[in-house]
Amino acid sequence: MLYQENGLIAARQLWIAGVVTLAFTALARWLRGVTFSGALAGAAICFLMYAAAGPGAVATLALVFVLTWATTRLGYSRKKRLGTAENQQGRTAAQVLANLSVAAGCAVFSASSGMSIFLLGAVAALSEAAADTVSSELGQAHSEKARLITNWKAVPAGTSGGVSGTGTAAGIAAAVLVSFFAARVGLFPLKLAGIPALAAALGMIADSFLGATLEKKHLLNNNGVNFLSTLLAAIGAMLLG
């Protein structure tokens, strides 16, 4: 009987995950936050996050989507003139996976191993993805110039590895918001919320270094930089935790 009850609970969880995934994916596509391929990748991420970590994880994922979608469109005409604007059709599958696959992987590891420390890693990866996008998009929207993080020389806004005061402050705020939101929806105790926030901020800085070095030398593309940055944030949070 217990086995049957557990099976019913698991089946119900997967059914709910499917419904939530369809709703979230349809909304993201309707808002042009993702392309068709990006929607498919996002659906896979959403399903895994819900099935592995529950509604709180998807709520946190939704917050990341809202932050990135809103800031991407803020000052869009100016970014278009600078040549740094994102595709109006939204992010592709490669971009979605580069930013979110680490978080989904951590959630799955948490569920399969029973080790909640992986949830800190998942939230740190989500927080870093939000921080990186928010810092980049707001920096481009409000700053004509940025400073290359490796030598502090002035570069045009949108240059890989370029940072600005406005963008950095906004990115840190985004990391804190996502991490504390994740704690409030029950992914981990509120007293631990500073850990993924700190790891995400450090991951955002690492993203700038990788952009100014490996991406500038064409050893990595932007998707590779984003993936490594979220991975470093996740590892950092788990080590700190």
Three-state secondary structure call for residue 228: helix
75-85 residue pLDDT tens: 666 555 555 55
Strand partners, 156: 145
Average pLDDT, the chain: 86
* pLDDT, greater one: 2 or 19: 19
**227 pLDDT exceeds 90?**
yes
pLDDT value at residue 5:
36
The per-residue pLDDT for 29 is: 81
Quick one: how far is CA 19 from the chain centroid?
22
pLDDT for position 22: 82
Alpha carbons 238 and 241: distance in angstroms, whole number = 5
Residue 203 has pLDDT above 90, yes or no: yes
Question: What residue segments make up the domains of the chain, in order of their start?
Answer: 2-240
Amino acid 11: pLDDT: 55
pLDDT tens profile 127-166: 999 999 999 888 776 666 778 888 888 887 777 888 888 8
C-alpha span between 240 and 199 (Å, rounded): 8
pLDDT at 35 over 70: yes
Q: For the residues 22-42, what does the mean pLDDT come to?
A: 85
Residue of 72, 9, 20 lying closest to 42 (CA atoms): 20
Q: Which residue is it, tokens 């009850």?
A: 5
